[in-house]
Structure 1
Amino acid sequence: MARSVSQRLLLAGSVAVAGSLILTGCGSSKIGGGSGAAPNASQSVNAEGADSALAAMVPAALKTKGTVLIATDSTYAPSEFKDASGNIVGMDVDLGNAILKKLGLKAQWQSADFGSILGGITAKKYDLSLSSFTDTKAREQQVDLVEYYNAGEAIATLAGNPDKLSGQASDLCGIKVSVQTNTTESQEIAQTINPACKKAGKAEVPGNGDQFNAQTDATSALIAKRDQAMMADSPVVDYAVKQSNGQLVKIGQNYNSAPYGIVVPKGDGQMAQAIQGAIKDLINDGTYLQILKKWGVDSGALTTDKVLINAATS
C-alpha cells in the first residue's frame, strides 16, 4: 500500500537517533515482535524444495529465464526495507523467495518508487511485485493480485497524544497528517476524510496530507513534529512505534482491514495460480507462519481458503 532510505532526517537530541533509524534497519537488527523485542533479520526459515506440479505451471519464458525480477518499495518496514548493508529484506522478501523456490525459480529484488510499480508491471519492466499492495477493484483493472496477507490501516501520533486524537480517521479534520504518496491512506484522505470534513463544516487535512514518496520520510516528519499524526498500514505503524524509542504512539484500533496481493501481469492466470498454490503449500508446511512470526506480523496470517486471486470487495 503505502513506501531511498538513504536520506536521513537530522534532528536535535534524541530525535536525531530515532529519525535516522526508524524504518531503515540501520539500528538494532531486532525489528519488532509481539513482546516488543524485534525478530532477528538474519533468522533462517524453512528451506522447502520445489513443488514439481506447481513448477510445471510456470510460463515458459520465466522458466527459461530462471530468475524473476520483483519490484518493491524498499522503505516500508517490516514488509520491505533496506538493512544496514543495503540489502532488501523484510516479510515480503522472505515470502517471495520461498514462493519462487516452490516454483523452481530465483528472485532478483529491485527497489522502485511505489507509485511507479504497477505501470512497470504492465510495461513488462518487472515480472512481479511484492510491495504491500492492498487488493482493490481499481488495481485489479490493471494487474492481477494473489492475496497473501491481511492488513489494516492505523494512525500514530506523538507520545502523550498532544492533540488528544481518538484514533478515528474522522477525527483528523484540520490535523497535519504525514502519509506516503499513492497509498490507500493518501487516497482515503483525499476521497473520504476531507470531503467528510468539508461537509461537516470543519477544516480539512491540509494538502490532502503531507505526502512523501518514501514511508521513512513520512515517519520522520512526525517525529520531527512537522506533522501531528501519521497514517499507514497497521504493520508499518506498529513497527514505527516500536522503533521510535517512546516518541510515537499508536492511537485507536486498526480499521479497513483488507488483503495484500502479489502483483502479477494482467491475464497471466497460470502464473497467478502457481503463486497461489505455492502460498498454500507454504501455509501447510509451516514456512508461511514462520516467516510472519520472524517479522512480528503473524496477526495478519491467512488460512489456505483465504488465498484468493482478484477477490477485492472495494
Structure 2
Amino acid sequence: MRRMSLIALTGVAVAGLSLSACGSDSMSTSPGAGSTPVGSGSAAGGGADATLAAKVPADLKSAGKIVVGTDPTYAPNEMLASDGKTVEGFDPALFDAVAAKLGLKTEYVPAGFDSIILGVTGGKYDVGVSSFTINDDRKKQVNMVSYYSAGTQWVVQKGNPDNVNADDACGKSIGVQKGTVQVDDLTARSKKCTDAGKQAINPIVQEGQDQVTADLASGKTVAMLADSPVGLYAVKQTGGALEALGDIYDSAPYGIVVPKNDTALADLLVEALKATKADGSYEAALKKYAVEAGAIDDFAVNP
C-alpha cells in the first residue's frame, strides 16, 4: 500500500542494519544494477517469449534493458542486498521474470519513493516498480498495471505497552513513510480525533520505511502503519520485539507504473505477467519471499 529494510531493534540483531546504512548512500549516489540475464534459469522462468519480445517498443529493444525506478527500503518487497547496491526482493524477482519474457534485462535505480512517478513521467525511468498501490490520483498521472494485492497493517512493540488502539490513536506518535497511502490514512484518522474534540495524531513521517521501523523499535513512536507484507515481515524479522495490531484492511492492488502515453507497453506488461503466471515464475518469485497470500491472476491496466 505503500506502500522494511530492518535495522537493529531494541537489542535484537537484524541483518538489515548494514543494508539500511548502505541504502542511504546508494539512494543518493549510485544506481542499483539488478540485471537478470534472459533465460538464466532464475525467477525468470522459461526466458524470452518470442511473440511478446516482438512487441517490445523499439527504444527498449535497442537498449536491451528496461530501467526501473524503485525505493529499496521496503523489505521484503524491495531492498538492498549485502553489497549495498543490488536491489532484491519479491518485486524485482517478479519483474525480472516479466522482463525476461520480453527478452530484456533489468536495471534498478534506487530513488526516494515519492519521486518515482515523476521520474517515470519525465523519462528518467522506463517504469516504476515499488509497491505502488493503485488509486485514482496515481491513475491520473500514469498507467498502472496490477500484479499483487496488499492491505495496511498496524504494528506496535511487543505487548502493545502504550495500549494503542488503531481506531482511537488520538494524541499518539505514529510512524509512516512519506508519500504512501498510509499518510492519507493517518490524516483521516487524525481529523476524526480533532472533530471529536480530542488531540490530533502526531504523525512521524520518514523518507524510508527502515527509518519508520527504527522509530518504533526505539520508542520514538508507539505504532507504525505499513503495507501488510512489509509490516508482517518486520514482526517476523525482529525476534519478538514487534507484533501486529489488528487485522489487515483496505486491500488493493499494487501496480507497475508506466508512462500515461505508453498504453502499448502497459498492455504488453499485462501479457508478460500472464506468461509468468502460466510458467510458474510468478508464484516462484512470491514464494521466495513468503508473500504468496497476495497473489492475483486478474492482471489489468488501470483496474
TM-score bracket for the superposition, by shorter chain length: 0.7 to 0.9
Pairing 1:80–2:74 present: no
Query: What CA distance in whole angstroms lies between the structure 1 residues aligned with 2:213 and 2:18?
Result: 8
Kept in 2: contact 1:241–1:250 (CA 8 A): yes
Give per-residue Cα distances to partners, 1:279-298, cap 9 Å, x unaligned.
Answer: 11111111111111110100
Q: Gaps spanning 5+ residues in structure 2: where?
A: 23-40
Instruction: Tell me the SS of whatever aligns to 1:267.
Output: coil
User: 1:236-251 alignment to 2 at 5 Å?
Assistant: 236-251=230-245
Distance 1:253 1:22, change over 3 A: farther
Query: What CA distance in whole angstroms lies between the structure 1 residues aligned with 2:7 and 2:19?
Result: 12
Match of 1:69 in 2: 67
Normalised TM-score (structure 2):
0.88
1:186 equivalent among 165, 183, 188: 183
User: 1:278-297 alignment to 2 at 5 Å?
Assistant: 278-297=272-291
2:258 equivalent among 259, 264, 281: 264
Q: CA deviation at 1:202?
A: 1.7
Pairing 1:2–2:2 present: yes
Q: Gaps spanning 5+ residues in structure 1: where?
A: 27-42
Moved beyond 2 Å, runs of 4+: 1-5, 8-11, 17-26, 43-47, 163-166
User: 1:41-190 alignment to 2 at 5 Å?
Assistant: 44-45=42-43, 47-86=45-84, 87-166=86-165, 168=166, 170-190=167-187
Kept in 2: contact 1:24–1:83 (CA 8 A): no
Q: CA deviation at 1:270?
A: 0.8
* Aligned positions, number: 284
Distance 1:144 1:62, change over 3 A: same
Letter in 2 for 1:76: Y
Distance 1:46 1:113, change over 3 A: closer
The alignment yields a C-alpha RMSD, in angstroms, of 2.3
Distance 1:265 1:225, change over 3 A: same
Instruction: Tell me the SS of whatever aligns to 2:168.
Output: helix
Q: CA deviation at 1:189?
A: 1.2
Letter in 2 for 1:78: P
Aligned-residue identity in percent: 40
Query: What CA distance in whole angstroms lies between the structure 2 residues aligned with 1:254 and 1:61?
Result: 41
Q: CA deviation at 1:50?
A: 1.2
